[in-house]
Structure 1
C-alpha cells in the first residue's frame, strides 16, 4: 500500500478516535433529541474524511501525475492553462454540500431550532393578548390613567414629564400645533399619514385664498399661523383661515374625515395615526411606535387628547 494512503488512513482513524473521546465518551452527544451536537459531530466526521481524501489525492498527483491535455489559446507571459474539465468528484461534493446546507438551515438547524428570542417573543405575544383582553373595556378615567403611565415611559424622554416639549426639542402637547409648525407645513406641504393614509397637503404654491382669488402671501401665512397656533381665537388671521384652510380643515379646524386632520385639538384617531406612522415637521422627525398594543395606543390617545383641551 502506498505510504501516502496509509498515512491518510492512520490520520483519519486518529482524528475519529479523538472526536469520539472529545464528545462521545464524555456525554457530549447529548440526549436522544439533541440534534445540534449530533449534527456537529457528523460534520466533524465528514470534514475529517473529505480532508484526508482531498489531501491524499493531490499529494499523489504531485508525486506521479504529469501535465497533459489541450492548452487554452490564452497565455500570460508564456504561461498557459490546460482546458481541464471540472473533476466529477468536485461537482458531486459541491452539489451534496449545497443540498445539505439547504436542509440544514430550513429543516435541521437553525430555523427549526430552539431560540431564546423566539421564546421571548412568544411570551410577549401571550402577555399582550391577556393584557388586551383584560383592559379592552376600560372607562375613560382608567384609560387616561393608563395613558399617563405609558406616556412617562414612551413619550416623556422627548416631550418631557409635563408634555411641554422640553424647550422646543419636541412638540408641546398642551397645544395642538405651534406657530412655526404651521408655517412649515404651509411652506412645504405635508404627507405624514396622520389621516391614516398618504393624502398630501399642497405647499404654498397650491394654496389659494378664496377671498382674494390669489395664492397665499407671506403676510397671510404669518397671520394664519398665529391664528391656528392660538387655538383659532381672535380675529387676526381668521379671514385667511376661512378663505384658505377651512375648506379642508373645517370652519372649526377640527378636520374632515379622509380630507384633512384636526389642527384645533388632538383626538384619539390623530394620536393613533401619528404613533403608527411617525411624523416629520419643523422640529424634526418623530419615529413610529409600532411596539405598542391597541389598548396602549387607545390609552395614549385619551391622555394626549385630554392634555390639549
Structure 2
C-alpha cells in the first residue's frame, strides 16, 4: 500500500511539473533567463532531482534485493573497496606482516630490528617532479632572465589601470571627480537635499551651518570648494584621522554628485547659528580666467580710446 502510494505521488508530480514547464516554455519569451524567470529554473532543477533520486533509490533497492538473494543462495560478496587496497599496495609497496621476514635486516639494537622497505612510488615521483620543476625554474628565471613575481605584479597592475582608464574614457554614465558637473535641476537638488538630511545633517546641521563638521555656507573650505573638490571630499572622505568618512561605499556616484551640487547651492545662505569659517577662502580658478580676460579686453579698449 505504501509503495503504491509513493509511486502514485511520483507519477502525479512528474506529470504536473512537466505540464507546468511546457506551459512556461510556451508562454514566456525567455523561459531560460534565470533573472526574469527564476521559478522556471527552480521547477526544472526540482524535476531533474526528483527523477534522478527516484532512479538512485530504484538502483539501490535492486542491489539490496540481489545481495539478499545471493546471501540466501550462499554466494559470498567480494570484499568491499578491494580496488582501493590494490591501489594502496601499488603506490606504497608496503609488505604485509607475514612477509616482513623477507626484508628484515641484520641490524639488531636492544631487540629492535630494522626493515628494508623501499621508498613509496608516490614519494619518489614527487621527488622527481621537484627536480624537474627546479630545472625549469632555473632556466626560466636565471638563464632566460624571466620576470620575477614583483615584475609580473607591476605589469598586471599597470594593465589593470589601463583597462580602468579605457573604461572611464568610454563610459558615458561613469561619474568621477574629473568629469562631474554642477547640477542645477530642481529634481537633482531635491534628491541631494534628501541625501544630505539623511546622512550629513547630523554633523553639518540641516541648514549647512556646521556643528561637528564645518560650515558649508561660507566661502571658506578645508579641502577646496567647487563641485569637483566637494565631490572628491564626499567620495573619498575628509582629512585622515579627523575628517568625515568616505561615502563611496554607501552612496552611488550619481547620488554623490547630487548631494555635492546641493552643498554648493547652500553658498551664500545665512544659517541661524553658523559656525566660524574654517580653512581657506576658495576662489574658483575657472571663474577667474574669464574675468581676467574681460579686464584685459577693457584695458585694450581704453588704450584705443586714449590714442
State the TM-score, normalized to the length of structure 1: 0.30
Which structure carries more relative contact order (alpha carbon 8 Å, separation 6+)? Answer: 1
Q: Which structure has the larger Rg?
A: 2
